[in-house]
Amino acid sequence: MIDDKTNTELEAAAFRRLVEHLRERADVQNIDLMNLAGFCRNCLSNWYQEAAKNRGIEVSRDESRQHIYGMPYEEWKARHQSEAGPEQQAAFRASHKH
């Protein structure tokens, strides 16, 4: 059985690998992630910020996004984000009716 400390370390390593993978796959748009998985890079940055707040650590939205994107969010958007097409927008609306 894995002890709590080791489990936390493994979870942290998996999270770091996920973030690294998403940085490497800048071709995958956030809207596509939202449509397929129900979360995106912005969600991860929000969860990071929330986790910090729960520990009494102030992390700004910009700081949490830079942590996930590996650069300022506005820079990432300028480099990698394309306009969502009609099909992507329709799929987003269909999957997020709540």
DSSP letter string, 25-76: TTTS-HHHHHHHHS--HHHHHHHHHHHHHHTT----HHHHHHHHHSS-HHHH
Q: If you average pLDDT over residues 25-31, what whole number do you get? A: 94
Residue 98 pLDDT exceeds 70:
no
Residue 96 pLDDT exceeds 80:
no
* pTM for this entry: 0.86
pLDDT of residue 53: 98
Q: What CATH number does residue 39 fall under?
A: 1.10.3340.10
Closest CA to 44 of 25, 16, 72, 76: 16
Total domains in the chain come to 1
Q: Which domain holds residue 42?
A: 4-95
Residue 82 pLDDT exceeds 70:
yes
Rounded CA-CA distance 29/37 in Å is 12
Rounded CA-CA distance 45/28 in Å is 17
Q: If you average pLDDT over residues 36-52, what whole number do you get? A: 96
- pLDDT band for 2, please (50, 70, 90 cuts): very high
